[in-house]
Amino acid sequence: MLVYRLYLIFAVLMLISVLGCARAPEAGQKVLLIFSYHAEYPWVIEETAGLDEVLKDKRVEVAKFYMDTKRNTSAEWKAKVAEEAISKINDFRPNVVIVLDDNACELVAKRYIGTTLPFVFCGMNGEPGDYGFPANNITGVIERHHQKETIDLLKRLVPDAKRAAMVTDNGPTSQAFVARAKRTALPIEIYEFYSTDDFDDWKAKVEELQSKVDAIGLAGYQTVRDKDGQVSVPAEDVLGWTLSNNKLPEFAFFDYTVRDGALCGVILSGYEQGKTAAEIAIKILGGEKPANIPIECPERGNPIINESRANELGIVIPKDLLEEVEIVR
């Protein structure tokens, strides 16, 4: 009987401890969001929607800082804006900082490894170990493209496709994407991975590939610049030119690329990335230690087919796919 009572007391104490760690955030706590890119970037819009979904009713004060490193890629700009982000941290004095995408991890969060300020990363394409994560005060969410699943979808639309090339910009996100693709057993022969930040080179490569492959994969195209290398070409212009001049089926990895006209993809959700990061931040505000929260990787991928592009390319969408994928026009 005594043993039973002792066991019951121990169980109650453990339950109280767990509930204490999972308590709600205190009113007035602060969360700072440091975005690698600019507010209008489609991926940032998705991430923000996921963050807002979780944070809006939690009585926390939220501030945002945009590093704008997609449109400004120079080392000088990155050094300058990193210092501005750190000044924002010092001025705002957040209880948790959420850094979104790789540049914010590299330029800001790495400086705080081992400090008392908790960080949550989000949308990381690189390997956490490349940045020294996880750390006692840092955990978060990694981003992994659905490369194999996307090509499986392509081959259901174009069964005869046997060889493909992937064309990307040369930004950090694309570099991590290509490195991972080269390590992945893909269900199609990859003739070439081609990365460039020069728009003329991009155009020449797309034209060259028309007679060499059966499909073209599009990853990042946001850091492509003009012929002088001075001005970023708007992403919509890069994609628009590509769709107008490419006669091959495209496969892509981001929601906006397919919605803006590429043929198909099993796409990542920036919303899920932001939502998961915010949920981790809430746990930390409630008393959990970052070191006790494992790094997460949302597995959900959304298969999408652009019907208008399929029609342009003369591709008939199989009936069995219509119930499995999202069709956009």
For residues 77-94, average pLDDT: 98
Confidence of residue 24 (pLDDT cuts 50, 70, 90): low
Structure tokens at 83: 């210092």
Q: With contact defined as beta carbons under 8 Å apart, do 106 and 77 qualify?
A: no
Say yes or no to pLDDT of 36 above 90. yes
| For the chain, the helix, strand and coil percentages under 3-state DSSP, each to the nearest 5 | 45, 20, 35
Of residues 13 and 289, the one with the higher pLDDT is 289
Q: Both tokens of residue 32?
A: 């700072």
Among candidates 188, 189, 251, which has minimal Cα distance to 219?
A: 251
* Whole-number CA gyration radius for the chain: 22
23-144+271-292 and 147-267+302-328 agree in CATH topology: yes
Which of the two residues, 37 and 5, has the higher pLDDT score? 37
CB burial of 47-64 (b: ≥16 within 10 Å; e: otherwise) equals bbebbbebbeebebebeb
Q: With 60 as the cut, is the pLDDT of residue 228 above it? A: yes
Q: Picking from 17-21, 74-78, 103-107, 125-129, which range would have the lowest pLDDT averaged per residue?
A: 17-21
In degrees and rounded to multiples of 5, residue 241 shows phi and psi of -65, -45
The average pLDDT across 310-327 equals 94
Distance separating alpha carbons of residues 320 and 118, to the nearest angstrom: 47
Mean per-residue pLDDT over the chain, rounded: 91
To the question of domain 147-267+302-328 being in CATH 3.30.1370.60, the answer is no
Q: Is the pLDDT of residue 87 over 50?
A: yes
Q: Which helix (H) or strand (E) holds 24?
A: none
pLDDT for res 25: 66
pLDDT band of 57, cuts 50, 70, 90: confident
- Rounded CA-CA distance 166/64 in Å is 34
Structure tokens that stand for 46 in this block: 């998705």
- Residue 12 clears pLDDT 70, i.e. is over it: no
What local confidence, expressed as pLDDT, does residue 23 receive? 58
Examine the pLDDT at 219 and tell me if it is beyond 50. Answer: yes
Rounded Cα distance between 306 and 258, Å, is: 6
Each domain of the chain, given as residue ranges in start order, spans 23-144+271-292, 147-267+302-328
Q: Give per-residue pLDDT as tens, 167-212.
A: 999 988 899 999 999 999 999 999 999 999 999 999 999 999 999 9
DSSP string, 49-76: HHHHHHHTTTT-EEEEEE--TTT---HH
Report how far residue 59's alpha carbon sits from residue 252's, in angstroms, rounded to the nearest whole number: 38
Residue 229's pLDDT is 72
Q: pLDDT, tens digit, for every residue of 229-288?
A: 777 899 999 999 999 999 999 999 999 999 999 999 999 889 999 999 999 999 999 999
Q: What percent of the chain has pLDDT over 90?
A: 82
What is the pLDDT at residue 156?
Answer: 96
Between 10 and 80, name the one with better pLDDT: 80
Homologous superfamily (CATH) for 23-144+271-292: Response regulator (3.40.50.2300)
